Amino acid sequence: MKKLKQTAIAGIVTSALLLSACGAQSNEASGSEESLSSDGNTLTVYSAGPGGLAENIQEAFEEETGIEIEMFQSTTGKILSRLEAEANNPVADVVVLASVPSMEGLKSEGKLQAYESSNDDLVNPEWSDPDKFYYSYSAAALGVAYNTNQIDSLNADWNEFSKPEWKGRVAMPDPTSSGSAVDFLYGLTNANEDGWDTIQSWMDNDLLIAGANKEALNSVITGDNDVVVSAVDYMAYKAKDSGEPVDIYYPESGTVISPRAAAILADAANVESAQKYIDFLLSDTAQQLVADAYILPANESIALNNRAALSDIPTLPLDLEDIEQKQIETLDTFNSMD
Say whether both 32 and 135 belong to one domain: yes
Q: Would residue 87 count as lying in a domain?
A: yes
Number of CB atoms found within 10 A of residue 301's CB:
9
Looking at the fold, whether 234 and 159 belong to one and the same domain comes out as yes
Same domain, 58 and 133: yes
329 lies in some domain = no
Is 234 within a domain?
yes
Residue 326 located in a structural domain: no
Domain match, 249 and 144 both: yes
Check whether residue 263 and residue 134 sit in a common domain. Answer: yes
Per-residue burial over 154-164, b if 16 or more Cβ lie within 10 Å, else e, is bebebbebbee
Range of the domain at 167: 140-256
Residue 335 lies in a domain: no
CATH number at residue 58: 3.40.190.10
User: Do 183 and 116 belong to one domain?
Assistant: no
**Three-state DSSP state, 3:** strand
> Would you put residue 254 in left (φ > 0), alpha (ψ -120 to 50) or beta?
left
Residue 117 lies in a domain: yes
Q: Would 327 be classed as within a structural domain? A: no
pLDDT in tens, the chain (338 residues): 554 333 222 222 334 455 556 555 545 554 445 556 555 579 999 998 787 999 999 999 999 999 999 999 988 888 999 999 999 999 999 999 988 888 999 999 999 999 999 999 999 999 999 999 999 999 999 999 999 999 999 999 999 999 999 999 999 999 887 878 888 999 999 999 999 999 999 999 999 998 889 899 999 999 999 999 999 999 999 999 999 999 999 999 999 999 999 999 999 999 999 999 999 999 999 999 999 999 999 999 999 988 999 999 999 987 777 777 888 899 999 999 97
Same domain, 150 and 185: yes
What's the pTM? 0.86
Please tell me the total count of domains within the chain. Answer: 2
Q: Integer distance in angstroms from the first to the last C-alpha of the chain? A: 7
Is residue 333 included in any domain, yes or no?
no
**Among 229, 256, 283, residue at a domain's last position:** 256
